[in-house]
């Protein structure tokens, strides 16, 4: 979204006009930004046999999945439902990485029946897998490196108290199970969390993985997960993917030359690809002044963007309708019967009731974490593709709220 000659636009389309056509609240995604981010990763790892597996949980709309597939991405899924969405978007099973957590073993069995790449992060599940499949179906193993990385403890997944992965200190048990059941382990996986800015964190993960990988003779790939940091406000530190691609690619090549054959390097970006491409556009219902604060109450809330409340996440907020107005300090809140502050003490151009308020960087974990709390409708989604605004999900109706309910009274 750009401000040009006093008007906010996406690919040359007036954002206010988009809202007139589709209503608010509205998720709008810029396809060109998604493609640009994907290309930047490909270029950053151009000297490496990289496989980019989009972390579908960030944004699962099938049109987004198809867009990424069209431009050469694979996909990482964490549930069978996401797997079926990916298959429906046209991803072949061998391009889908399935990384479930704490699921019933029958979900693993179904993943095998679909032909997915299976990624296991629990010793008991690994043993069940070995007993059932032995040397007939390969799997990947997700390791917990005991590295605290990422924006905060809530989004770090590689620390010692995380539920994710098999501890690197349990490597002997992994080896014992693999030998006992003739398990073919064709991949090793580490994902330490989100918003990692330092190349050194990935290089430290690589050092751990390379040391372990020598004990696994059947490897096809090593997966370094995702967690690349994007900017949420001016001045934010971000992951330098070109520095990462150069240094990690070099270390990876040195490893596989000593390993004895070429391996694939996998990464799983989610937020990096879609966060900056998405904007949640809302309408101001009320401007409410108190002796201590002035609230801007919009027609959305934590039911449609939970990240500010769940993770204390910062999202830049702008007044689309009055970009030239004098700046004042507001606290932007939702219309949910909870404390749902979307942004506190923000300098915005003067806000009037009816003004359109845009919340930036909402492409990742926005709609995908939305709910019908307070029985409110989920918003519509629009994709700006080749200069055209295309509806890719209609707004909920009351029928959607009632679907699945059974009246027994």
Q: Mark whether 337 is an active-site residue.
A: yes
Whether 304 contacts 370, CB under 8 Å: yes
**Could you give the 3-state DSSP secondary structure of residue 151?**
coil
Angle formed at CA 60 by CA 115 and CA 56, multiple of 5 degrees: 55
Give the Cα separation of 64 and 88 in Å (integer).
12
Instruction: Please identify which of the residues 102, 139, 140, 337 carries the catalytic annotation.
Output: 337
CA dihedral sign, ordered 151, 302, 57, 159: positive
Whether 229 contacts 238, CB under 8 Å: yes
Tokens representing residue 181 in the block: 């059941």
> What count of Cα atoms within 13 Å lies in the side-chain half-sphere of residue 398?
0
Q: Do the bridges between strand 264-267 and strand 221-223 make them parallel or antiparallel, or are there none, so unpaired?
A: parallel
Which residue spans within 221-340 are E strands per DSSP? 221-223, 264-267, 278-289, 294-298, 317-319, 327-333
Give the Cα separation of 315 and 334 in Å (integer).
14
Tokens representing residue 79 in the block: 């549930």
Tokens representing residue 267 in the block: 């990464």
**Residues with catalytic roles:** 337
């Amino acid at each position: 979204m750009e401000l040009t000659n006093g008007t906010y636009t996406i690919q040359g389309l007036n954002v206010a006009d988009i809202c007139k056509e589709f209503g608010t609240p509205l998720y709008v995604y810029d396809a060109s930004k998604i493609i640009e981010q994907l290309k930047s990763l490909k270029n950053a790892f151009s000297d490496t046999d990289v496989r980019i597996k989009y972390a579908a949980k960030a944004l699962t709309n099938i049109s987004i999945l198809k867009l990424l597939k069209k431009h050469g991405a694979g996909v990482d899924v964490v549930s069978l439902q996401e797997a079926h969405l990916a298959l429906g978007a046209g991803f072949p099973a061998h391009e889908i990485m399935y990384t479930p957590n704490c699921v019933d073993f029958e979900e693993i069995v179904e993943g095998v029946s679909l032909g997915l790449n299976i990624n296991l992060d629990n010793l008991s599940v690994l043993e069940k897998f070995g007993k059932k499949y032995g040397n007939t179906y390969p799997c990947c193993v997700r390791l917990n490196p005991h590295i605290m990385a990422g924006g905060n403890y809530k989004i770090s997944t590689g620390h010692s108290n995380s539920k994710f992965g098999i501890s690197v200190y349990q490597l002997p048990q992994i080896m014992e199970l693999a030998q006992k059941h003739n398990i073919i382990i064709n991949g090793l996986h580490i994902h330490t969390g989100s918003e990692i800015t330092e190349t050194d964190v990935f290089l430290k993960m690589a050092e751990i993985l390379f040391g372990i990988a020598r004990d696994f003779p059947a490897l096809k790939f090593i997966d370094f997960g995702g967690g690349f940091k994007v900017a949420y406000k001016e001045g934010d530190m971000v992951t330098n993917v070109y520095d990462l691609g150069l240094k990690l690619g070099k270390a990876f090549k040195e490893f596989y030359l000593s390993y004895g054959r070429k391996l694939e390097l996998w990464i799983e970006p989610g937020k990096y690809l879609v966060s900056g491409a998405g904007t949640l556009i809302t309408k101001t219902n009320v401007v409410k002044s108190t002796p201590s604060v002035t609230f801007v109450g919009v027609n959305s809330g934590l039911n449609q963007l939970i990240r500010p409340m769940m993770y204390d996440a910062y999202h830049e907020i702008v007044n689309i309708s009055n970009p030239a107005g004098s700046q004042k300090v507001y606290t932007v809140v939702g219309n949910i019967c909870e404390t749902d502050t979307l942004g506190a003490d923000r300098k915005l151009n003067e806000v009037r009731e009816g003004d359109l308020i845009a919340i930036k960087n909402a492409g990742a974990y926005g709609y995908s974490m939305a709910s019908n709390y307070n029985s409110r409708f989920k918003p519509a989604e629009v994709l700006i593709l080749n200069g055209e605004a295309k509806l890719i999900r209609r707004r909920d109706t009351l029928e959607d709220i009632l679907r699945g309910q059974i009246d027994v009274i």
